[in-house]
Amino acid sequence: MTVIAFLGAGSVVFTRELLADILSFDELRGVTLALHDIDPERLETAELIARQTASQLGATPTITADLDRRTALEGADFVINAIQVGMYPATVRDFQIPAKYGLRQTIADTLGVGGIFRALRTFPVLDGIAADMRAICPDAWLLNYTNPMAMNVAYLGAIAPDLNVAGLCHSVFWTVHDLGELLGIPHEEIDYTGAGVNHQAWLLRFEHRGESLYPRLDALLDQDLQLRRRVRMDMYRRLGYFPTETSEHSSEYVPWYLHHDAEIDRLRIPVGDYLRISAQNVDDYHATRRGLLAGEPLDLTRDATEYAPQVIHSMVTGTPRRIHANVINSGLITNLPPAYAVEVPCLVDGAGLRPEPVGDLPPQCAALNRAFVSVGELTVRAALDGDPRMVRQAAMVDPNTAATLTVDAIWDLCDELTAAHGDLLPASLRG
């Protein structure tokens, strides 16, 4: 019997989607779903979702719900990590405090001061997860969805290199899907390869029936002025390869846009957008809970299957699939630093998950990625060494932060965020 543990199961909308995908596979309809969250109400809601989803799909999983993580991990073959340490209040702090200093962010969960401090809040919990998995389910696959993806996977690679870890993100898939819609080509007819770092990978191959689709995208951009008014389109036109995360995300990973009022207007950048998204997520949670308690059915319609259910199905049944995942760079991308996390194509089947070597990225893409990676490397090292100065140094080399603030302001901002997040951060970094 396959056992799937969900950590952070109280992320109910995401949990609902994953469960619907898992239980839609005939071979997975009788799995054990071990739900865990530290919030009793959210855990109860997740259990209600699991039971309602199973009922609507006619599946017969065994469902457990535990506030104790170690209990949830017992016998696990797969561990899906979707925790958010600090939840909405911490996200608000990550936006409001930097905004006082004049620093603009859009999503703040991957890079920049928002990404740095989200990582530092998450690392202590990852320490506990890794220790528990070593003791209870050492052969299980940890499928991480929690951001900042690259920093989290790199940190796990440093503290638990013996664990099976893959970071899963839908950004490459949806980039290709949405470009296909723009060009009028079904996703399944597009051949593509993405590689780089999570939220800043690049479409190295983007083809239809053996022909590159980039000339067709170029022609569309030449005709459509409004389409050019997006960050990703602007980056693509200048760099020659399409970045695989939204314009909102991409704008805060480079030094070019967010500190210019004219660029924000030209490229229609929604500053602070994740605050709106996070507030909507809270509203969605409450609406879902009310509907469940009222006996209403769940909306289980899905546009595509998430990666974690595909990975689980492939490993359980031996069905081969090619996905994009985040793993430690062990010679996979040769002009990015080793030992950090990279996003590359991977083959998944009954033997596990095997990354495909990519070689060198185009030099301009690697140059941007190296700046991105430097922030994450310093953040991970700050936590490993317990060095508060390195937290500030990570912020100093962040492209958007460095383009906006003086070094004194960066130092002061990090001091204020450290105080605001308090004991969510490692004790060694609060000094």
Q: Which residues are annotated as a binding site for Mn(2+)?
A: 169, 199
Q: Longest Cα pair distance anywhere in the chain, in angstroms?
A: 60
**Per-position DSSP letters for 209-245, written without gaps between them:** TTEESHHHHHHHHHH-TTTTSSHHHHHHHHHSS-BSS
Query: For 228-255, b where at least 16 C-beta lie within 10 A, e where not — what string?
Result: bebbbbbbbeeeebbbbbbbbbbbbbbe
Q: Please give the backbone phi and psi of residue 422, each rounded to the nearest 5 degrees, phi first.
A: 55, -130
**Lookup: tokens for 133:** 């998995």
Contacts of 40 (CB under 8 A, 6+ apart): 67
**Between the CA of residue 362 and those of 308, 367, 370, what are the distances in Å?**
29, 9, 12
Annotation marks residue 313 as catalytic: no
Is 184 exposed, middle or buried (CB count within 10 Å of its CB: 0-12, 13-18, 19+)?
exposed
CA distance linking residue 368 with residue 157, whole number of Å: 23
Q: How far apart are the first and last CA of the chain?
A: 47
CA distance linking residue 129 with residue 82, whole number of Å: 12
Catalytic member of 170, 208, 259, 260: 170
Using DSSP bridges, classify how beta strands 62-66 and 78-81 pair: parallel, antiparallel or unpaired: unpaired
Sign of CA dihedral 292, 293, 296, 297: positive
- Does residue 145 come out as left (phi exceeding 0), alpha (psi in the -120 to 50 range) or beta? alpha
Which residues are known to be catalytic? 170
